[in-house]
């Protein structure tokens, strides 16, 4: 380990961020004890060989994302991100709280809008959101849930405090990498798994399927669930196949579906079959050419009407985008207080609302020190990091903010926490974020223990998106006590049943005799020849 971590403390000092593995002074944190021990034993050659074999496995298994028409393996780093049990309990509570608040908010804005009449948020905030879809106003979706699946991005600031960076309640992706990373790490760094209790992640598909089935339209006994994908060219296609496969349901494209009489059917070899729950993995805009983009080839006409009539459950519900609008994000702490009567468990990142004149002027003066984000962007699109931007970029940004102040928010540059990451021939600190996934079945919000840790592979970079040179890390949530007392289950002893086998040679004494005789004969012949 000494070589691999040689310049680590110096590099960590340069970034000034909170390091997940080492406390200041290169002292290993308690949660990383096992990992550090495992890495201690490895040489550079070991580490690179393991990293190569992990990458090879991903390519063979097709764990890829589509980037500009090319399938690329999603880089997985060998050092996991470890979250101690006590920190996780807080995160879990905070994520679930946020999901409940957003669920209530969505129900409200597509219904009575009490949140507006009670003066918590301005009406304009809702009605100017690009993803406030009037097409789905005024009805409760079948099953009563809107945010079945969510990914709430959290980061740790320089002081080590967790903060929510953004909410994803439309089509959050990345959970497949959580599942695959764990499988790969179990083979890549087996030493670190030994004595530690790491909470398992493989429960996710089962939880998701049961939540989807539970929210089926009423009156359906044995609901048929499908996953709706845009097709093989989508960047997350691998995830769609993995989830459909693990849930044992069909993966459909828009052209496989047909709506008739407000019911949805899929075309099968045995004719049309009714579909009750659609786990939608395409954007709302492409879902239904009757309601949204009429040129969409990916959706199926009539889906929104079918949902309105209660003939099908669409998960996540159409129109959720209004809740992960980044300007709405700045109001979420208020929403939590308003709907749940609780204080937020995880704080937001300080955010400037650029429609407010004072804030805008303040921001425009300090553009080179702030991060400016478009309110409806995802995947890091359109984001400008002030300190890294050129003069021209900042000037262009200034013009765009002045033209459309509703379209942007500004935040201080956060030094995201770092985790050691293999780069060339040594480990260096790289910035990470965390996306925990939550599944809501209507009664209960379950948070997957772990989540996707994305890492910016370039030194100093703060952009972790896979499309912009990010990788990922397996995320380990430690359990403080064994959840199942292992000794309590009596197990029958394994009996040894010997297997029957017949060897082709020397199966009995005759064979061995024959062999001897044959050998003797040839020896005799040799002797005869020599004589």
**12: DSSP letter:** H
**500: DSSP letter:** P
Which listed residue (254, 344, 470, 471) binds other proteins by CB under 8 A?
254
Does position 61 interact with other proteins (CB under 8 A)? The reply is yes
- Tally of CB atoms within 10 A around 476: 28
The answer to whether 426 touches 384, Cβ cutoff 8 Å, is no
The answer to whether 426 touches 48, Cβ cutoff 8 Å, is no
Whole-number minimum distance, CB 254 to other proteins, in Å? 7
Return the SS3 of 41.
coil
Whole-number minimum distance, CB 239 to other proteins, in Å? 11
Q: Count the residues of the shown chain that bind other proteins, applying the rule CB under 8 A.
A: 35
Return the SS3 of 3.
coil
Whole-number minimum distance, CB 145 to other proteins, in Å? 24
- Tally of CB atoms within 10 A around 7: 11
Which listed residue (301, 333, 374, 380) binds other proteins by CB under 8 A?
301
Which listed residue (102, 169, 242, 462) binds other proteins by CB under 8 A?
242
* Burial of 85: CB neighbours in 10 Å, binned 0-12, 13-18, 19+: middle
Q: For other proteins, which is the closer residue by CB, 106 or 277? A: 277
Which listed residue (178, 189, 251, 397) binds other proteins by CB under 8 A?
251
Stretch near other proteins under the rule CB under 8 A, chosen from 44-52, 238-246, 316-324, 408-416: 238-246
Site for other proteins in 195-234 (CB under 8 A): 227, 232
**How many angstroms separate the Cα of 21 from the Cα of each of 219, 332, 336, 427?**
52, 31, 32, 12
Binding mask 307-336 for other proteins (x = CB under 8 A): --x---------------------------
Does position 59 interact with other proteins (CB under 8 A)? The reply is yes
d(CA 469, CA 77): 13
Strands 263-268 and 257-260: antiparallel
d(CA 108, CA 143): 16
| Vertex 328: Cα angle to 325 and 334 (nearest 5) | 155
d(CA 102, CA 83): 25
What are the phi and psi torsion angles at 338 (to 5°)?
A: -70, -50
Which listed residue (13, 24, 111, 245) binds other proteins by CB under 8 A?
245
Q: For other proteins, which is the closer residue by CB, 168 or 291? A: 291
Binding mask 417-456 for other proteins (x = CB under 8 A): ----------------------------------------
Does position 266 interact with other proteins (CB under 8 A)? The reply is yes
Q: For other proteins, which is the closer residue by CB, 311 or 451? A: 311
* Residue ranges binding other proteins (CB under 8 A): 59-62, 227, 232, 241-242, 244-245, 250-256, 258-262, 266-269, 289-290, 297, 299-302, 305, 309
């Amino acid at each position: 380990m000494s070589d691999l971590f040689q310049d680590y403390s110096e590099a960590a000092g340069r970034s000034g961020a909170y390091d997940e593995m080492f406390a200041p002074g290169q002292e290993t944190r308690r949660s990383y004890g096992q990992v550090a021990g495992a890495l201690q034993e490895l040489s550079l050659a070991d580490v690179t060989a393991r990293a190569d074999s992990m990458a090879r496995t991903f390519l063979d298994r097709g764990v890829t994302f589509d980037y500009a028409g090319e399938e690329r393996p999603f880089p997985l780093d060998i050092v996991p991100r470890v979250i101690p049990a006590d920190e996780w309990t807080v995160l879990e509570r905070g994520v679930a709280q946020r999901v409940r608040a957003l669920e209530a908010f969505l129900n409200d804005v597509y219904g009575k809008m009490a949140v507006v009449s009670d003066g918590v948020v301005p009406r304009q905030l809702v009605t100017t959101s690009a993803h406030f879809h009037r097409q789905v106003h005024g009805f409760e979706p079948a099953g009563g849930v809107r945010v079945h699946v969510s990914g709430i991005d959290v980061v740790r600031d320089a002081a080590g405090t967790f903060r929510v960076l953004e909410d994803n309640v439309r089509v959050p992706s990345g959970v497949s990498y959580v599942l695959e990373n764990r499988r790969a790490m179990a083979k890549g760094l087996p030493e670190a798994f030994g004595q530690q209790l790491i909470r398992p992640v493989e429960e996710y598909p089962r939880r998701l399927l049961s939540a989807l089935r539970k929210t089926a339209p009423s009156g359906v006994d044995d609901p048929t669930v499908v996953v709706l994908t845009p097709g093989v060219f989508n960047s997350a296609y691998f995830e769609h196949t993995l989830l459909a496969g693990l849930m044992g349901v069909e993966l459909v494209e828009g052209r496989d579906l047909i709506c008739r009489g407000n019911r949805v059917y899929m075309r099968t070899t045995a004719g049309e079959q009714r579909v009750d729950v659609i786990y939608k993995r395409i954007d709302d805009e492409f879902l239904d050419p009757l309601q949204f983009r009429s040129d969409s080839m990916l959706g199926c006409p009539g889906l929104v009407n079918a949902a309105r009539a209660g003939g099908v459950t669409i998960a996540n519900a159409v129109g959720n985008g209004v809740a992960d609008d980044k300007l709405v994000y700045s109001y979420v702490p208020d929403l939590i207080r308003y709907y749940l009567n609780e204080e937020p468990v995880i704080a937001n990142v300080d955010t400037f609302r650029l429609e407010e004149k004072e804030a805008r002027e303040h921001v425009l003066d300090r553009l080179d020190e702030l991060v400016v984000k478009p309110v409806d962007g995802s995947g890091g699109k359109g984001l400008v990091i002030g300190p890294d931007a050129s003069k021209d970029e900042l000037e262009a940004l200034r013009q765009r903010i002045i033209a459309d102040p509703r379209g942007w928010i500004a935040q201080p540059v956060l030094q995201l926490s770092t985790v050691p990451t293999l780069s060339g021939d040594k480990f260096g600190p790289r910035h990470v974020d965390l996306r925990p996934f939550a599944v809501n079945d209507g009664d209960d919000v379950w948070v997957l223990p772990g989540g996707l840790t994305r890492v910016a592979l370039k030194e100093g970079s703060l952009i972790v998106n896979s499309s912009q040179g990010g990788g990922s890390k397996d995320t380990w949530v430690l359990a403080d006590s064994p959840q199942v007392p292992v000794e309590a289950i009596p197990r029958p002893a394994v009996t040894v049943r010997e297997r029957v086998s017949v060897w082709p040679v020397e199966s009995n004494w005759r064979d061995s005799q024959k062999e001897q005789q044959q050998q003797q004969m040839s020896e005799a012949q040799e002797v005869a020849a020599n004589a």
